[in-house]
Amino acid sequence: MSTLVIADVQQGKLDGATAKLISAVQKISGEVHLLVVSFNENALTQAKGLSGLDKIIGVTHVGFEHPTAEIMAPLIVSVASEYSHIVANTSTQGKNLLPRVAALLDTQQVSDVIEIISDDTFKRSFYAGNVIAKVQVSSAKKILTIRATVFNPVAAGSCDDVKILDYEPGESKVSFVSAQISESTRPELTSASIVISGGRGLQNGENFVLLEKVADKLGAAIGASRAAVDAGFVSNDLQVGQTGKIVAPDLYIAVGISGAIQHLAGMKDSKVIVAINKDPDAPIFQVADYGLVADLFDVLPELESKL
């Protein structure tokens, strides 16, 4: 039996997490197949340049411009019989889609796997990352969302075994109205090697400019705490935490963030953590490798000028 990896495709492009998912499932016995569903050929071309794959299954149809769970799930179910494992990323796409697939296959799902121990045993994080469970799955099919950010990507390579599936999406029960896509020239938050995040301490959205200037010097992605997003300083796609994005960069700089457990859940696997906060008792200092107790409005301009 083999593993089917469902690629995240964003606006016709293969998401960087896909290479991490492929790397994560190498421990599972059998072949690794990648399903790439898109409205154009771009993602498929990108996928052919990855190592670690035995086969790519490509579905290209204009009907998949907006790959809703309602049209994606039946497609995955139609190929599911060949696979012992079906996995997707713990992204909003994967989280939206995979439980719908699991229910159609009458199979339980294991969410947010952070380690694959064997074909049927996995570690997952729950309770905002405060507890890790080792679980064993007895169903014939294992359906998993995997936290791609904790795995290293597979190297570039090539996969020439490409099967093009002629599949027409069915009538969807939902239709697309509009999207508000956050455009940024900075690295993507979940794959960036440096992340600098701001919290309520920034006081307003305009002050995020101070953070952006430092981010530009470091080539960093910008993140935010829930408090900053709730207050309307920045958009929701920047939220790092239990229910937002989970990141694990080489360097995470938390600025004006107190460090609620829900925020720590999203960043405590970062290799090096820096906390800048004027409150010496802020919980963020308990997880920080380097803490600087100071006013961020002094520190940020100084950092910008000295980096």
CA distance 252 to 233: 20
| Cα dihedral: 251, 255, 259, 263 (round 10) | -60
Specify whether the CB–CB gap between 56 and 36 falls below 8 A: yes
In this chain, which of 1, 2, 10, 150 binds another protein, going by CB under 8 A? 10
Site membership for another protein, residue 295 (CB under 8 A) = no
Residue 127 backbone class (left: φ over 0; alpha: ψ -120 to 50; beta: rest): left
The token pair at 240 is 């790092």
Which region among 25-33, 97-105, 149-157, 195-203 touches another protein (by CB under 8 A)?
Answer: 97-105
In this chain, which of 29, 92, 118, 204 binds another protein, going by CB under 8 A? 92
In this chain, which of 47, 71, 234, 303 binds another protein, going by CB under 8 A? 303
Nearest distance from residue 278's CB to another protein, in Å?
13
In this chain, which of 26, 45, 65, 104 binds another protein, going by CB under 8 A? 104
CA 119 to mean position of chain CA atoms: 23
Site string for another protein, 19-38 (x = CB under 8 A): --------------------
In this chain, which of 26, 29, 45, 136 binds another protein, going by CB under 8 A? 136
Segment 158 to 177, residues that bind another protein, using CB under 8 A: 173-177
Site membership for another protein, residue 181 (CB under 8 A) = yes
Q: Give the list of residues 6+ apart from residue 134 with CB closer than 8 angstroms, or none.
A: 117, 121, 122, 123
Segment 61 to 90, residues that bind another protein, using CB under 8 A: 66, 68-70, 73
Interface with another protein: number of residues (CB under 8 A): 89
Check the CA dihedral 304-188-225-176 and report its sign.
positive
Which region among 48-56, 149-157, 162-170, 240-248 touches another protein (by CB under 8 A)?
Answer: 240-248
Site membership for another protein, residue 40 (CB under 8 A) = no
The token pair at 146 is 């995997």
DSSP 3: E
| H-only helix segments in 231-292 | 261-264
Site membership for another protein, residue 95 (CB under 8 A) = yes
Nearest to 257 by CA among 236, 242, 240, 272: 240
Which region among 38-46, 130-138, 154-162, 198-206 touches another protein (by CB under 8 A)?
Answer: 130-138
DSSP 257: -
Site membership for another protein, residue 147 (CB under 8 A) = no
